[in-house]
Structure 1
Amino acid sequence: MEEQKVKEKIITLYKELEQEKDGRYLPGTGLYHNEPPSGSRYADKAKKLLDNAKKLAEIDSKFSNIYELFSTLNKEVELVRNYSYKYDKMGNPTQKSITEMQKMMADATDHIYRDFVCKFYKR
């Protein structure tokens, strides 16, 4: 039963990673004002996913190979975390830099899926 709960948590975090590239709505700022994607928020969720993958590996040895997932977090997710937006004259991130961040997040999320999540979840 605990194994199923950990898997569900991993799937939830994975889905949150997929959605993170769209940014998030900031309440009280207007109907269509979204905050750009956050590299630190994305990386924090990815770290939580890794922590749950470790728990799952302890519960069931067939999930013990998390090296690829660990490698992806150390490389691609850290690139996302450390990405710096370029800003226009109004102080807003440029669309080009937002698009670059979204691409980096999508690539990292796809690797996370292939490295670990696909072993028990089909999207």
Structure 2
Amino acid sequence: MEEQKVKEKIIALYEELEQEKYGSNLPGTWLYHNELPSGSRYADKAKELLDNAIKLAEIDPNFSNIYELFSTINKEVELVRNYSYNYDKNGNPTPKSIAGMQKMMADATGHIYRDFVCKLYKI
């Protein structure tokens, strides 16, 4: 039962990573105000996914090879965390820099899927 809960948590975190590239709505606002994609929020979710993958590897030996996932999170996800938007003269992020962040997130999420998450669907 514990194993199934960890798998479900990993899948839920992966889905959150996929959605992060679209930003998020700020809580507590009566109008939905969309917040830009956040590299630090993305990286925190990816780190939590890695922690759960480690937990799953301790439970089930079929998931013991998490080196690729670890490598992706240490390289690509950290690039997402450290990404800086470029701003126009009005202080707004440029569309090109937002698109750059979204592409980096999409690439990292794709690698996370191929490195580990796809294995959850095979077993």
Distance in 1 of aligned mates of 2:26 and 2:119: 35
Amino-acid identity (%): 82
Normalising by structure 2, what TM-score? 0.94
Alpha-carbon distance, 1:60 to partner? 0.4
Structure 1 unaligned segments of length 5 or more: list them: none
Aligned equivalent of 2:114:
114
Aligned equivalent of 1:103:
103
Alpha-carbon distance, 1:89 to partner? 1.3
Distance in 2 of aligned mates of 1:110 and 1:46: 12
Q: What secondary structure, in the 3-state scheme, does the structure 1 residue paired with 2:57 have?
A: helix
Distance in 1 of aligned mates of 2:58 and 2:83: 33
Alpha-carbon distance, 1:29 to partner? 7.1
Aligned equivalent of 2:37:
37
Q: Does residue 66 of structure 2 align to residue 66 of structure 1?
A: yes
Q: Is the 8 A contact 1:11 1:121 kept in 2?
A: no
Q: What secondary structure, in the 3-state scheme, does the structure 2 residue paired with 1:121 have?
A: helix
Q: Alpha-carbon deviations, 1:8-62, whole Å to 9, x = none?
A: 000000000000000012242744x311100000000000000000000000011
Distance in 2 of aligned mates of 1:121 and 1:44: 24
Normalising by structure 1, what TM-score? 0.94
Structure 2 unaligned segments of length 5 or more: list them: none
Aligned equivalent of 2:11:
11
How many residues align? The count is 121
Once the two structures are overlaid, the 10-residue window that deviates more, 85-94 or 21-30, is 21-30
Q: What secondary structure, in the 3-state scheme, does the structure 1 residue paired with 2:65 have?
A: coil
Q: What secondary structure, in the 3-state scheme, does the structure 2 residue paired with 1:15 have?
A: helix
Distance in 2 of aligned mates of 1:121 and 1:48: 19
Q: What secondary structure, in the 3-state scheme, does the structure 1 residue paired with 2:93 have?
A: coil
